[in-house]
Amino acid sequence: MESKTILYRTLPTLLFDLDGTLSDPREGILRCIRHAFAEIGAPVPAEQAMEQCIGPPLRDGLRCLLDSDELADRALVAFRHEYGRAGLLENRVYPGLSNALHELREAGAAMFVATSKPQQFAEQTIEHFGWRALFRKVYGCGFDGTLAEKSDLLRHLIASEALDPADTIMIGDRKYDIVAARENGIRSMAVLWGFGSAEELRDADAFCATPADLVTVVFAQPLRSRRSD
């Protein structure tokens, strides 16, 4: 029998970054960084510098701001204490994002959270916004730094869920999401409402300007193909 390719419409598996993609945590994170710097007696950086800590592993950002491993470790402990106490709730959903998530879920999309935020904080955030039923699972890093690098996290997620890389998209707002997707052989979609610049996101495979456009952009992605013998 002659082999042929069948194209069929189905949504790809969607891996969502959390901070800057699903929600805007700026208020809580910046306040807790200020708190941490005050706790260790260090000068508080400018807001623009602190914003660069949103997305990558936090210890890396603190290390850049403080230029000291020892101070970064102390600041991280102080940050996590305050963030766990109140900071993670100082967070807001981007307008239109929740509706888009519900539409994608109702359309049959399999969705996961893939974040460099500690697993416990990520779980609490998803619960806080009432999104537990929308995501199959939340993947974050350990407080000990395990899976803090986005590439390692995606590799772990893809293997754990037995995902098909050709049928998986990483959706995020920072270059770390785009690079991690490429290193794991999956497509990337850059959202333009978060904390990443257009320059750092230029290598993404697709772009989404607003949360309201998310469903349209996801549906516009290429059809899966399957060879039938």
Query: Which residues are identified as catalytic?
Result: 17
| Cα three-residue angle 208-91-201, rounded to 5 degrees | 30
Residue 102 burial class via C-beta count within 10 angstroms: exposed 0-12, middle 13-18, buried 19 and up:
middle
Write the CB contacts of 103 (distance below 8 Å, at least 6 apart in sequence). Answer: 215
Neighbours of 85 (CB within 10 A): 11
Full DSSP string of 193-229 = SSS--TTTTTT-SEEESSGGGHHHHHHTSPPEEEEE-
Residues 3 and 46 sit within 8 Å (Cβ to Cβ): no
Coil, strand or helix at 143: coil
List beta partners, residue 114: 139
> In angstroms, how far apart are the furthest CA atoms of the chain?
75
> Which spans in 86-173 are helix H?
97-106, 119-128, 150-160
